[in-house]
Structure 1
Amino acid sequence: MWFHTLFLCIVIVVQTDGHRPQGYVDTAPKSTASETQAQDGPRTVSSSGSFLGSWMETRRGRRFEAYRGIRYAEPPVEELRFKPPKPILRYDEEVDASKEGPACPLPATKVTIDEDCLRINVYTPGGNNTKPLPVIFFIHAGGFYSMTGRSDLAGPHYLLDRDIVLVTINYRLATLGFISTGDALAPGNNGFKDQVVALRWVQQNIRAFGGDPDLVTITGCSAGSRSVMLHMISPMSKGLFHRAISMSGSATSKAPIPHHQFDLAQKQVRIMNCSQTNTSEEIIACLKTKSYRDLGYSLAGFFDQFNSDPVGLWSAVVEPDFGQERFLTMDPTDAIREGKMHAVPYIISQTRNEFFWKALNVLKNETLINTMNEEWERIAPISFMLPPENSSVAVSRLKQAYLGGKKLVKDDASAQGLGKLYGDAITGFPTHRMANLMCRHSPHKVYDAEFDYIGNHSHYEDPDTKKPIGVAHHDDLIYLFTLSYRFPTIQVSDSKDSQMVDKMTAIWYNFARYGDPNPRDSELPELSTLAWPPMTPTDRKYLQLGEKFSVREKLFEDRFHVWEEIYPIQY
């Protein structure tokens, strides 16, 4: 099983006493009645080559075609390690896409990992559609250091009841994907460049799978959500997508993003016991001698010992110009504010409670409570991922705002206050900032939402009752994808969970078609009560996605005002 990593759904089974992955049981769909043997699978041919797939079945019994584990770039090994991806433009032999590909290197003991991991998965209804179908391109979560696009983490069995083509991908993780030394040896962002090459693959090949290359919706949760926003300002991504959905994550936060993360590169070589770590040449030379497995399993060494914080490590960087194709040329906040983006219709959301469970980890442990109380000024900047500038002022203000200036104790007030502080610091405020920037500067409509539904399962369940007690980070994914690594498939029934699957997939389907989630006809009865207004600077309405839909305004702004005062920007 996975030990509870950063962005909860991270290829894990959630625990309550940490958040780093240790491995998980491989529960990818097996060859049963829903999937035939490879030789009986479907085939398709694109301008790049021919592909052999397999058959799967949705929760409503619809048979569909699955093409998994297709290489979209050359294996990033040996001399290609730490280099931008090299796209595969032609397949000389038929590609066997009938089974799962490997995950990118990470700490997983019971799933195949490999450095040759740049794989794409395509799921399609197939058949003789009268016109190409909308494409939903999903970028997985995991803090840029965990998870995969495999079908046990991004299962297609709910969305493929809709007339869409679903694409999921792997991209390089952690040091292998995001090392950035600030010079030509490692300018950074290779994991994002992997995503771009996958999007370009879609443009070249998706018609052969029944998809419309002119109707691509990029979607993502957590780290994937941050990726989605970055593609809207990356010069590499222009023209590759036409709508966007970001769930619980933003690249616009408390401070501008860096131009390098040399400190993480140095930490990596110390963890790997490299003898020379002073220059980028020494760092890259040493890390090229290490096995991908050792690099993947070194993740635990990056976290502070307090509550396994911080949950965020690698990030995008503004790349200096060394003559390379740059993924990011300016800070995201500046790019949005100056209109230097290729904006599209946009849905932005967060969950009601996000990272509330991290407070429970602290409050059930006397040592952690005492450490946080006694060393608040040292611990808080790490746990809440605060910029170093004026951090002492920030942690004092935040303690007053969320905890009434009081010490932590084992009571509900501390749990509520610290839980909201964790959630707002990691996800809530950055997402709020992104929504408010985009609704002011995008020429397209921006739809804001709060996911507020508690079903039978959650990424955090009470260890005694085994029941959900909040709406945790990633809980919205439960109703969009089958997450067979952890949760049972939600069967078709009159249950509220089954109805939520229908509602969530209908919203994505409608938005992928029209760039507007609202129903246009009676075709989608699940959305008959939906009337979702776009967010504007002066009318900041949002949709509360609960058991029933309701329109509200000023999402959590009573809490976010203190962040705006501490980290002000010109909107």
Structure 2
Amino acid sequence: KYVSTHILIIIYLGVVQTDKGLVEGRSHRMGLFRTVDVFKGVPFADVPGKWEKPKPHPGWSGRSLLQRLLLMDRWNLSSSPSDDDDDDGDSSSPVSTSLPVMVYLFGGAFMLGASNDVAILGDSLYDGKELAERGDVIVVTVNYRVGTMGFLSSGDARLPGNYGLWDQHAAISWVRRNIAAFGGNPENITIFGQSAGAVSASYQMLSPHSKGLFRRVISQCGVALSPWALQKNPMRLCLRQIARKVGCSRSDEDEMLACLKLSDPVGLTMAGKIDVFLLLGKVVDGDFVPDEPSRLFHNAAQFDYMAGVNSMDGHLFAGVDVPSINKENGNTTVEDVKGLLAGLTKEKGVTAVGSAYSVYSSHWGSAPEPAVVKKTVADIETDFLFLVPTQIALQLHANNSSGARTYSYLFNMETRIPGFPRWVEAEHAEDLQYLFGKPFATPLVYFPRHRDLSGYMIAYWTNFARTGDPSKGDSRVPVPWPAFTKHHQPYLAINHKITKSSVSYDLRSEYISYWTKTYSSLPAVRREEEEEEEEEEEGGDLTQ
């Protein structure tokens, strides 16, 4: 199943007419004079066939009051129900109209997740009530197919893939058609997401199918250019692995695909877990994604764009690759650093390892502190997986923009995760708790500084959704946030102490220059021996 989530709107809306039927929400009290309405489980499409694009919902009779979250907004103290409201609540009109709309796409490596996922003290991490109420916007969270059902592909027309992207597109289209009935402005829709959801938002922006569908995009910790965001060889690296696991290994590809299409969806879903983590993903399908992402930014010229990363986005992944970085007495060696670089740069060979190592160790000195070496490991993965691709995407957007604005940020609040070394700042996904207002919703587990940060993020994000400028809107912000342009690259450092000095320029420019110029100019190394070994391993698996 996949459904869009709920609608929180000013005053109790009661029953709302959508293009497919009536939906009924519930009012949630947020304080003495604060209320939001929540509409859960609103279907935006029919149940799709296996590896098929979503299809229109046939509609329903009666009221739909299902179990997920879709849209949200706050009760305005100066508003009152319209004169024609019925006492039983069966018809009412939203007092607010033309509210900005923010559609959230969840992350989860394209493998897992849901719009009501990761409950925190009873509420989903993505629960939008605080964001909606404090920012005076409508928040929409949507579900889409993930894992093998959403992103398995043969790399050609036989099984083109990107079904999760099509689901997102169907949900956004539903919002565009219906949001006015909930008090939203269909001409002012912002798509935002984190990690794989940020990549998804980026692809929605780059697709030719999105022209005129929404107005702005926010990517948090992921873009379409991220090295893990595009699967360039889905048949060899992913589909054959799935086929083996469900008993569909065949030498003839058409027979293998026919077998997969007859396989049990539950078995296929389980086959896609863990072992192919970060291998399932978007593909160039010639349709929704017609070309390499870097060549599609002309499609993004109309959208205002805001993107950034967390300062330690790569730390958790680096801790898996080099476990010693998180051990108090662990010794992270030069060989560890070079080994990590070898894994990341294998398509360029040993020359890349040496050149990258010289760049990242240049500030160490003759006898570097152990913490400095360990932090460098985290920085390498953060740069390679998140920060550099995001900065490239921002530059491409600014270069292609036709009047739309571009904004860059670095979220560097210290981590709240216990047990990590002191040098660790913002982990992957740590920004979400603040954006969705958890320090306000569950105040006992946060300090005042966390509420300060949460208020800042909600203000900047919802101002951007309202006006296209995070500094301008209904919410006060601590400092102006200058736009990123072709020739000037400012960014805002986001934490609980935002001052004028929080605006800096040329984020990690030395390292971005290395990856975009020096590294990219190195010749690729064809590793025939490795490919032969992989093929032998695949053959060996068939006989086990």
Aligning the two structures, in what range does the TM-score lie when normalised by the shorter sequence? 0.7 to 0.9
Partners of 2:229 and 2:435 lie apart in 1 by: 32
The answer for the alignment partner of 1:472 in structure 2 is 427
Partners of 2:396 and 2:147 lie apart in 1 by: 28
Deviations 1:112-171 (A, max 9, x none): xxxxxxxx7222337632422110011111111122111613111321223211101111
Equivalent pairs: percent with the same residue?
A: 25
The answer to whether the 8 Å contact 2:464/2:472 transfers is no
Please state if 1:453 is matched with 2:413.
yes
User: What does residue range 74-89 of structure 1 map to in structure 2 within 5 Å?
Assistant: 74-76=46-48, 80-88=49-57
Q: Secondary structure at the match of 1:65?
A: strand
Partners of 2:225 and 2:43 lie apart in 1 by: 32
State the AA in 2 paired with 1:524: S
Q: Select 1:524's aligned residue among 472, 475, 479.
A: 475
Greater length-normalized contact order (CA 8 Å, ≥ 6 residues apart): 1
Partners of 2:228 and 2:113 lie apart in 1 by: 26
Deviation at 1:483, TM superposition (A): 6.5
- The gaps in structure 1 that reach 5 residues or longer are 1-27, 35-39, 101-119, 304-311, 321-325
Q: Secondary structure at the match of 1:447?
A: strand
Q: Secondary structure at the match of 1:301?
A: coil
Off by >6 Å, runs of 4+ in structure 1: 368-372, 491-494
- The gaps in structure 2 that reach 5 residues or longer are 76-80, 82-93, 117-122, 523-544
Please state if 1:56 is matched with 2:31.
no
Deviation at 1:287, TM superposition (A): 5.1
Q: Structure 1 length normalisation: TM-score?
A: 0.75
Partners of 1:464 and 1:426 lie apart in 2 by: 21
Moved more, 120-129 or 47-56: 120-129
Deviation at 1:464, TM superposition (A): 7.2
Partners of 2:272 and 2:150 lie apart in 1 by: 14
Please state if 1:265 is matched with 2:239.
yes
Partners of 2:261 and 2:368 lie apart in 1 by: 44
The answer to whether the 8 Å contact 2:312/2:424 transfers is no
The answer for the alignment partner of 1:335 in structure 2 is 296
Q: Select 1:566's aligned residue among 516, 519, 523.
A: 519
Please state if 1:190 is matched with 2:163.
yes
Partners of 1:329 and 1:230 lie apart in 2 by: 11
The answer for the alignment partner of 1:513 in structure 2 is 466
Deviation at 1:357, TM superposition (A): 3.4
The answer for the alignment partner of 1:495 in structure 2 is 448
Deviations 1:164-184 (A, max 9, x none): 111011111122111121232
The answer to whether the 8 Å contact 1:181/1:280 transfers is no
User: What does residue range 88-237 of structure 1 map to in structure 2 within 5 Å?
Assistant: 88=57, 90-100=58-68, 121-125=70-74, 128-150=94-116, 152-161=124-133, 162-237=135-210
Q: Select 2:215's aligned residue among 242, 246, 252.
A: 242
Inter-CA distance 61–472: structure 2 relative to 1 (3 Å threshold): farther
The answer to whether the 8 Å contact 1:59/1:491 transfers is no
Partners of 2:137 and 2:188 lie apart in 1 by: 10
The answer to whether the 8 Å contact 2:246/2:263 transfers is no
Deviations 1:269-314 (A, max 9, x none): 12334342641441352353223265246412225xxxxxxxx323
The answer for the alignment partner of 1:389 in structure 2 is 347
Moved more, 174-183 or 396-405: 396-405
Inter-CA distance 121–330: structure 2 relative to 1 (3 Å threshold): same
Deviation at 1:492, TM superposition (A): 11
Deviation at 1:58, TM superposition (A): 3.7
Please state if 1:399 is matched with 2:357.
yes
State the AA in 2 paired with 1:416: K
The answer to whether the 8 Å contact 1:541/1:554 transfers is yes
Larger-Rg structure: 2
Partners of 1:468 and 1:57 lie apart in 2 by: 40
Q: Secondary structure at the match of 1:299?
A: coil
Moved more, 250-259 or 57-66: 250-259
The answer for the alignment partner of 2:260 in structure 1 is 286
Please state if 1:422 is matched with 2:390.
no
The answer to whether the 8 Å contact 1:347/1:446 transfers is yes
Q: Structure 2 length normalisation: TM-score?
A: 0.79
Q: Secondary structure at the match of 2:409?
A: strand
Deviation at 1:47, TM superposition (A): 2.5
Q: Secondary structure at the match of 1:475?
A: coil
State the AA in 2 paired with 1:344: F
